[in-house]
Amino acid sequence: MGDADDAQYNTVVRVLRADSEVEVLMCFYHVAARVHEKTRKLHHSLYSVVTRGVHELHFGGSELEYEESKTQILKEWALHPVLTSFWEHFK
Protein backbone atom coordinates (compact mmCIF):
# COMPACT_ATOMS: atom_id res chain seq x y z
CA MET A 1 0.00 0.00 0.00
CA GLY A 2 2.90 2.38 0.57
CA ASP A 3 3.58 2.96 -3.13
CA ALA A 4 -0.12 3.42 -3.89
CA ASP A 5 -0.48 5.86 -0.99
CA ASP A 6 2.51 7.87 -2.22
CA ALA A 7 1.14 7.92 -5.76
CA GLN A 8 -2.26 9.15 -4.61
CA TYR A 9 -0.71 11.82 -2.40
CA ASN A 10 1.59 13.00 -5.20
CA THR A 11 -1.35 13.20 -7.60
CA VAL A 12 -3.35 15.33 -5.18
CA VAL A 13 -0.38 17.63 -4.62
CA ARG A 14 0.24 17.94 -8.36
CA VAL A 15 -3.40 18.57 -9.26
CA LEU A 16 -4.16 20.96 -6.39
CA ARG A 17 -0.68 22.50 -6.31
CA ALA A 18 -1.15 22.71 -2.56
CA ASP A 19 1.48 20.58 -0.86
CA SER A 20 1.35 22.43 2.45
CA GLU A 21 -2.44 22.34 2.57
CA VAL A 22 -2.87 18.60 2.01
CA GLU A 23 -3.53 16.76 5.24
CA VAL A 24 -4.13 13.02 5.33
CA LEU A 25 -6.88 12.43 7.88
CA MET A 26 -6.84 8.64 7.67
CA CYS A 27 -5.59 5.74 5.57
CA PHE A 28 -8.87 4.46 4.20
CA TYR A 29 -7.65 1.00 3.23
CA HIS A 30 -6.44 0.20 6.74
CA VAL A 31 -9.51 1.70 8.39
CA ALA A 32 -11.84 -0.22 6.05
CA ALA A 33 -9.99 -3.49 6.59
CA ARG A 34 -10.12 -3.09 10.36
CA VAL A 35 -13.79 -2.09 10.32
CA HIS A 36 -14.61 -5.13 8.18
CA GLU A 37 -12.74 -7.37 10.61
CA LYS A 38 -14.58 -5.92 13.62
CA THR A 39 -18.06 -5.81 12.07
CA ARG A 40 -18.27 -9.26 10.47
CA LYS A 41 -20.32 -10.65 13.35
CA LEU A 42 -22.71 -7.72 13.70
CA HIS A 43 -26.27 -7.80 12.46
CA HIS A 44 -26.39 -6.48 8.88
CA SER A 45 -28.23 -3.30 9.90
CA LEU A 46 -25.51 -2.39 12.43
CA TYR A 47 -22.78 -3.32 9.97
CA SER A 48 -24.39 -0.86 7.56
CA VAL A 49 -24.53 1.87 10.21
CA VAL A 50 -20.79 1.55 10.87
CA THR A 51 -19.62 1.23 7.27
CA ARG A 52 -21.87 4.06 6.10
CA GLY A 53 -20.37 6.29 8.79
CA VAL A 54 -16.80 5.38 7.91
CA HIS A 55 -17.44 6.02 4.21
CA GLU A 56 -19.02 9.37 5.01
CA LEU A 57 -15.93 10.38 6.99
CA HIS A 58 -13.63 9.28 4.19
CA PHE A 59 -15.41 11.21 1.46
CA GLY A 60 -15.72 14.48 3.38
CA GLY A 61 -14.67 17.42 1.25
CA SER A 62 -12.97 19.38 4.01
CA GLU A 63 -11.81 19.10 7.60
CA LEU A 64 -14.90 21.01 8.72
CA GLU A 65 -17.17 18.60 6.85
CA TYR A 66 -15.23 15.70 8.39
CA GLU A 67 -15.72 17.06 11.92
CA GLU A 68 -19.42 17.76 11.38
CA SER A 69 -19.97 14.28 9.97
CA LYS A 70 -18.01 12.73 12.81
CA THR A 71 -20.23 14.45 15.39
CA GLN A 72 -23.40 13.12 13.72
CA ILE A 73 -21.98 9.63 13.21
CA LEU A 74 -20.90 9.34 16.84
CA LYS A 75 -24.40 10.38 17.95
CA GLU A 76 -25.90 7.67 15.74
CA TRP A 77 -23.47 5.02 16.98
CA ALA A 78 -24.15 6.00 20.61
CA LEU A 79 -27.77 4.89 20.11
CA HIS A 80 -26.58 1.28 19.77
CA PRO A 81 -24.83 -0.12 22.87
CA VAL A 82 -23.18 -2.87 20.82
CA LEU A 83 -21.28 -0.14 18.92
CA THR A 84 -19.65 1.28 22.07
CA SER A 85 -16.19 0.09 21.02
CA PHE A 86 -16.52 1.88 17.65
CA TRP A 87 -17.77 5.03 19.35
CA GLU A 88 -14.86 4.97 21.82
CA HIS A 89 -12.30 4.42 19.08
CA PHE A 90 -13.54 7.16 16.74
CA LYS A 91 -14.30 9.84 19.32
Residue pLDDT, tens place only, 46-87: 999 999 999 998 888 888 998 999 999 999 999 999 999 888
pTM equals 0.70
Spatial separation of the C-alpha atoms in residues 56 and 60, rounded to whole Å = 6
Domain contains 47: yes
Output the CA angle 48-33-91, nearest 5 degrees. Answer: 65
In a domain, 48, yes or no: yes
In a domain, 7, yes or no: no
CB within 8 Å of 59: residues ≥ 6 apart: none
Q: Which of 21-25, 33-37, 51-55, 57-61 has the lowest mean pLDDT?
A: 21-25
pLDDT exceeds cutoff 50 at 5: yes
Is the pLDDT confidence value at 26 over 70?
Answer: no
**Could you list the residue range(s) of the whole structural domain that residue 31 is in?**
24-90
Residue 12 counted as domain residue = no
Please give the Cα distance from 32 to 29 (Å, whole number): 5
| Structural domain count, the chain | 1
